[in-house]
Structure 1
Amino acid sequence: MSDWPELSEERDGPTIKALHLYAQIAGKVATAVLPWRNHGWHVTLHVGPRGYRTEPIHAAAGPFELEFDLVGHRFLMNMPDRDRAGFALEPMTVAAFYERVLSLLSEAGHIIPIHAAPNEVDPATPFMADRAARPYDRDSVDRLRRALVSADRVLRLFRSAFLGKVSPVHLFWGSFDLAVTRFSGRRAPLHPGGIPNLPDDVTREAYSHEVSSAGFWPGGAGAAGGPFFYSYAYPAPDGFAEARIRPEAAHYDKALGEFVLPYEAVRTGREPDEVLLAFLESSYAAAADLGAWDREALECEQGQPGIPRAVQPPRNG
């Protein structure tokens, strides 16, 4: 089922900004406990039908998950040996949310110090000092959830057509974007860093190899603008910014250094899924062709339910 709800920066943006800051707190718990995995993939959140959650966090006092249930409007801690614990998602300050999460962890025997200020947000107000009232509009939450589920579905379909190294489709809590990343297999030049309130060594590890990355940004804290889809390459090959990308509503944003497609252009398209796939495929093709990727070796047919990918004999020589 295709479900692309209307998203308004004016109406939905304040609630999305609050959820972004709350997501940072949950993500930092995973960062503090889990062993580092390539490109920071262990710290991301994963979209599901009811919202998004961490992956299993294997802590000294036992495993657990942290979940944002955007249908039941609760923040949950899922554990194997007791009932789910949690509290209501409702209007509150970031400081109040932070205190409730720490209390939830402590009651389950988890004392987990985290870096208590946001990343990739400027200014990075410490969580305990952020006492501004934050809204929690349930209609906005539902629209966000449905948009994330639809974007996740199409990004997974796009991911299925790549044989090379490719990330999961996952939600980065730093910038609050749902992303999937394809890799050429070659090392990349050292990234210059400079992302606000993010250590350069994290950025450089994330971009250690050549990538074509795409995703969905619904809005978030520390930034303005309506929701959009994006696609970029690192390093960007010569001519990338001038490439012709489908559909016509897409454009290259010099400030962001990436191609952008407004969410509204997808939502109002006759076939929204096809509009988005055209953007994902054409922007990737520009990065791969201009960057001289071995596309024959890296790509395959789009996945089909219940049908294994046909394996061709190895090429001679």
Structure 2
Amino acid sequence: MTTTNWPTLRVADWAPTRETLHMWTQIVGKIRMAHAPLVNHWWQVALYVTPRGLTTSAVPYGTGAFEIEFDFLSHRLEIRSSDGGTRAVPLRPMPVAEFYAQVMDALDGLGIEAAIRPVPNEVEPAIPFAEDHVHASYDGEAAALFWRQLLQANRVMGEFRSHFVGKVSPVHFFWGGMDLACTRFSGRPAPPHPGGCRTAGTG
């Protein structure tokens, strides 16, 4: 694995970590979905690429806000509240069930309630987070390379969207399918969806 501007990371080289990280991002994404106001196309549920990882951005809560960020440089999940409170969960090899419990405990410590549907979307089998002891891998180098791939793709897609004057989505990371996306709209009717990967907004 390399750390060039366009880092190489084959799926087979990090499949166990990828599958675990997919579940972790679903937990964080569902927390955002529980509190963010609805936006068309479910754009309010996505995560965003940052100079250190992936973030929910500011999520409204009461009269304030909070943010959850995967930091793939320090390998921590950072939770920050507008009242000054912070919590962190180390990113290390651990079952999804343990990660889920630690994140919920951290939110509780900040006085943030997060009632989510605790089952992953768009995967089979869909093991409830609290019962998932199957996915427990975390290779920090691979996770950082994945983020660096996202960083480069985010840069190029941001330039791509800037030249379109019509309706266009942000460049955002959908945790349901674990993909970075940007959508431009022509105004023409869209064909019927063929099925398959469902929107992240279904659970």
Q: CA deviation at 1:191?
A: 3.7
CA distance in 2, matches of 1:59, 1:83: 13
Matches for 1:184-203 after TM superposition, within 5 Å: 184-189=186-191, 191=193, 193=195, 195=197
Select which of 179, 182, 185 maps to 1:180.
182
Aligned partners of 1:42 and 1:55 also within 8 Å: no
Tell which has more relative contact order, 1 or 2 (C-alpha 8 A, sep 6+). Answer: 2
1:152 match: 154
Q: Which residue is 2:23 aligned to? A: 21
Select 1:66's aligned residue among 54, 65, 68: 68
The 1-side partners of 2:140 and 2:100 are apart by: 20
Equivalent in the alignment of 1:306? none
Residue 139 (1) aligns with residue 141 (2):
yes
Shift of residue 65, structure 1, vs aligned partner: 0.5
Question: Unaligned regions of 5+ residues in structure 2, if any?
Answer: none
Q: Deviations over 1:273-301 (max 9, x none)?
A: xxxxxxxxxxxxxxxxxxxxxxxxxxxxx
Superposed, 1:157-172 pairs within 5 Å as 157-172=159-174
Deviates more, 1:184-193 or 1:155-164: 184-193
Tell me whether 105-114 or 184-193 shows the greater mean CA deviation: 184-193
- Give the superposition deviation at 1:81: 2.2
**1:109 equivalent in alignment to 2:111:** yes
Structure 2 counterpart of 1:96: 98
Distance 1:124 1:133, change over 3 A: closer
Aligned equivalents of 1:155, 1:103: Cα separation in 2:
36
**Cα offsets for 1:201-246 (capped at 9, x unmatched):** 85xxxxxxxxxxxxxxxxxxxxxxxxxxxxxxxxxxxxxxxxxxxx
Residues 50-91 of structure 1, C-alpha deviations (whole Å, 9 max, x = no match): 101002111127310010000010001111222431111000
State the match for 2:59 in structure 1: 57
Deviations 1:72-112 (A, max 9, x none): 10001111222431111000000011101111111111122
TM-score calculated relative to the size of structure 1: 0.59
**Partner amino acid, structure 2, of 1:166:** V
Q: If the length of structure 2 is used for normalisation, what is the TM-score?
A: 0.91
> Which is worse superposed, 77-86 or 171-180?
77-86
Structure 1 letter corresponding to 2:104: L
Aligned to 2:47: 45
Contact 2:91–2:138 (CA under 8 A) maintained in structure 1: yes
Check the 8 A contact 1:120/1:174 in 2, yes or no. Answer: yes
CA offset at residue 187 of structure 1? 3.6
Match of 1:124 in 2: 126
Determine the C-alpha separation between the residues in 2 that align with 1:41 and 1:156: 16
Return 69-78 or 9-18, whichever deviates more.
9-18
Paired residue total: 199
User: Are the counterparts in 1 of residues 120 and 129 from structure 2 also a CA contact under 8 Å?
Assistant: yes
Identity rate, percent: 44
Give the RMSD, CA atoms, in angstroms.
Answer: 1.9
Task: Read off the aligned partner of 1:184 and give its amino acid letter.
Answer: S
The structure whose Rg is larger is 1
Instruction: State how far apart, in whole Å, the 2-side matches of 1:31 and 1:68 are.
Output: 17
Letter in 2 for 1:146: R
Say if 1:61 and 1:110, in contact at 8 Å, map to a contact too.
no
* Cα distance change on mapping 1:38 and 1:141 into 2, 3 Å: same
State the SS of the aligned residue for 1:65.
strand
1:18, CA displacement in angstroms?
Answer: 1.2
C-alpha distance in 2 between matches for 1:117 and 1:34: 19
Q: Distance in 2 between matches of 1:135 and 1:163?
A: 43
